[in-house]
Structures are given as C-alpha cells and as structure tokens.
Amino acid sequence: MIQLTQERNQLKKQYPNLIDYESRRMFRHFYDQAPMPSPEQPIEDVKAKTGLLGLGIRKSKFTRQFQRSSTEAMERRKQLRIGIPKVLNIWSTAPFWRTYFETLGIEQKNIVFSDNTSEEMWQEGGKYGSIDPCYPSKVAQAHIHNLLFKHHTEHKALHAIVFPCITHIPTHLQNVVDSTSCPIVAGAPNVIKAAFTKETDFFKERGITYFDPAVTFTEPNMLKSQLYEAFSNFLQITEDESNFAVDQAWKAMEMFDQEMQEKGRMILEQVEEENRIAILMIGRPYHSDPGLNHSILDEFQVLGYPILSMRSIPKDEVWLRRFFKADLEGGRKDRFSGFKTCFVRCLIHKFFLKYSVKRFNTSIIITVSFAAHAACHFIFF
C-alpha cells in the first residue's frame, strides 16, 4: 500500500491537476497588496450637486486628502479573527475576500477558511435544518458549524463570520442580458443565519458577529458602497480605506485568473505538441472542493491525463480566435447570449462544451450536484 501510494504521488507530479492546485491556491495569501495611502496623500474625488430648480445633476472634480482611521482602530483590526466558509460563490471570489481584509489590516493568519467538505464534516454539522435539495447548498451549514465548533476556540476566538449573499458574479462572456447567481446560492447565507439563530443564537453565544451582506460583483462602484456599509462600524474603517482595499482585492482576483490561464495555456500547448489528451472538468466553481468532486480527477491524473479547470482555459480573444474563427466570421459571436432564460453558469458550460468539441486534444468531465447526497458525474470522451 505504501509503495502504491508513492507511485501514485510520483505520477501526480508528472501530470498536473489544476483543479487540485486551484482549490488550494485561491485560499492562500499570494498577492502582496500595496500599502494603505498616508493621510497626506492627495486623491481625486467627485462632488455632485443638483442643478437649477432641482433639474439634473452637476458633477465637479476636486482634490482632497486620503482619509485614514485612527491608530487605535488599526491596532484593533490586527487582533480580529475572521472566518469564511469555503462554499458556493466563495469558490469564485476567495482571493478577493482575503485581499480585502488583509489590506484593511487583518493579519494573514487571522483570515480563517473552513475545511474542505468531507463526510465527517457533514455528519457533525449537517443537522441544523433542511435548506435545499442541492447538496452544495445544504453542506454550507456544516461549514458554518466547522467554523463555530472547530476554528473558534477559547484561545483562538473568531470575532466574525463573513458569508456574503453574492447576487451577481463576473463572467468572461459578452452580450449577455445579466450575470446573476443561482437564487439558491445567493440566498443560502440568509437561510444559514436563520438555521443557527432560530432556537439558539450560536453566534451570540460565542461573541461572533455574522455578516451576510448582499453584494454584486458586476457593478464595482456599488460593490464598494455595499462593503463599506457592511463593515465600516465593525472594522472601524473609513470609506477611502474600504475603497482602496476593494481595488487591491480586484487586482488579486485578476492576478489569480491570469496565473491559472497561463498554466492552462502551457498544458494545452504541450498536449497538442505531444498529441496527447488533457481532461477539462466542466462544473460549478465549488466542484473544485475535493468533497464535492470526490477526488475523481485524481484517478484520471494517475492514468496520465493532465487536469484542467474552466478557470484555467485562456480567454483572450487572440487565443480563442483560433478555435472560434468560423463563428466570428460567420456572424455567430452572440451564439451563447441567445439563451435568455439560462443562468450565466449554464451559458459558460455551453461555451466550454463547444470549446472542447473544437479542441481535439481535450476531453471533458461534467460534474453536477443536485437532489442527491453525492455529486453525479457524467463523463464524455
């Protein structure tokens, strides 16, 4: 058994698994954010006034100093410990949240994500009420339980749990009507709050503040307002500090996407050159959780197949034109925006399905989780 395990681990080193890499990398510190500007630093701002007789709005630019919070507030933030459940849309935005809080002065070690999903976690924490037939949504309660009962201790207390209702998520697709989250996914943080406060307020008992603000990632200015409104009092921050942290968080997200796409590009070019096959997993971002994909990708990895995630597929137009040239020249560039009633994630799945058809060196695994305790895997070669 030991020899077999060693052989498998050796094979894994030869054939990269970007699903596994992504699932670990996105929750770690990897982006060194710029230091918070000093109070003396001038910044440009916009002042808005209503026009004559209340008609229209007049905007004018002016320069002012960057507003900083007090030294006491900054010192207090260094002592705070924040928990974030590793579920649902957090799998799309984890680098954003880590960088946002780190920029505001929360120590790296004090940003705590829950563990990966496991059978043991579900047995211990999945008993606080039924949420939805969708297992990834149901398992969110087990992740909150994991933060409350494992990561919150007498000597290492959590001061807050952040589980935002992400109503809109960014997409690389163009010409879509909207980019909204699944309503079950977006509403899960509210349902979780009710589950852990209905009979006994587990958060209050432990001195933990639960945050579930509604936020949108498709309107950057609104996102800044939403985050400042949610965290200004608790973190004792100024609006300038929060806005600066949001800008840094976006840069972390962009860096992570670029890193993953570059790794994906290298694998795709290699398998094409060597006339080999890579496997692309098509699913929701949270299917990168080993507890939801059941590590099925590992089995293909040890058979000699590199594993790609949807995030790792290059998305720049120059690179994609090679495979979608006929569609673009034929006037079908809006092909995927025609499904007006589908969730954006469904459109993204269609995009990658079509990509795999055009790319002969790529086979796919479609991962779906619904109405079952375990995910259902449909494999196409």
Q: What is the pLDDT of residue 171?
A: 79
Between 314 and 235, name the one with better pLDDT: 235
User: Exposed, middle or buried by CB within 10 Å (0-12, 13-18, 19+), for 38?
Assistant: exposed
The residue with greater pLDDT, 219 or 321, is 219
Residues 249 and 274 in one domain: no
Q: Is the pLDDT of residue 281 over 70?
A: yes
Q: Are residues 20 and 113 in the same domain?
A: no
Confidence bin at 313 (pLDDT 50/70/90): confident
DSSP structural state of residue 26: T
Q: Which helix (H) or strand (E) holds 83?
A: strand 82-84
Determine, yes or no, domain membership for 40.
Answer: no
Domain assignment of residue 369, yes or no: yes
List residues bridging with 63 in a β-sheet: 44
pLDDT digits (tens, 9 = 90+) for 75-119: 999 999 999 999 999 999 999 999 999 999 999 999 999 999 999
pLDDT at position 338, please? 36
In angstroms, how far is CA 362 from the centroid of its own chain?
A: 25
In this model, does residue 55 exceed pLDDT 80? no
29-38, 287-296, 315-324, 325-334: segment of lowest average pLDDT = 325-334
Single out the residue of 206, 211, 114 nearest to residue 162, CA to CA.
211
Residue numbers of the domain that contains 80: 68-255
Q: Are 104 and 245 in contact (CB under 8 A)?
A: yes
Residue 379, pLDDT score: 43
Contact 374, 294 (CB under 8 A): yes
Q: Judge if 293 and 275 occupy the same domain.
A: yes
Q: Where are the alpha helices (DSSP H) in the chain?
A: 2-14, 18-25, 71-79, 90-103, 119-125, 135-138, 140-146, 183-195, 202-205, 220-235, 239-274, 290-293, 296-301, 317-329, 344-358
The confidence score (pLDDT) of residue 341 equals: 38
Q: Are residues 154 and 289 in the same domain?
A: no
Domain limit, last residue, from 255, 271, 299: 255
pLDDT at residue 354 is higher than 80: no
| Total domains present in the chain | 2
Q: Of 78-92, 162-176, 339-353, which gets the smallest average pLDDT?
A: 339-353
Does residue 265 share a domain with residue 248? no
246: domain CATH number?
A: 3.40.50
pLDDT at 245: 98
- In single-letter form, the type of residue at position 269 comes to E
Q: How far is it, in rounded angstroms, from Cα 18 to Cα 15?
A: 10
- Domain end: 255, 280, 305, which one? 255
Asked if the model's pLDDT at residue 370 lies above 60, the reply is no
Burial of 118 (0-12, 13-18, 19+ CB in 10 A): middle
- Single residue among 198, 224, 255 that ends a domain in this structure: 255
Check whether residue 342 and residue 199 sit in a common domain: no
| Per-residue confidence (pLDDT) for residue 52, from 0 to 100 | 66
Region of poorest pLDDT, from 145-154, 240-249, 290-299? 290-299
Give the C-alpha separation, 80 to 75, whole Å. Answer: 9
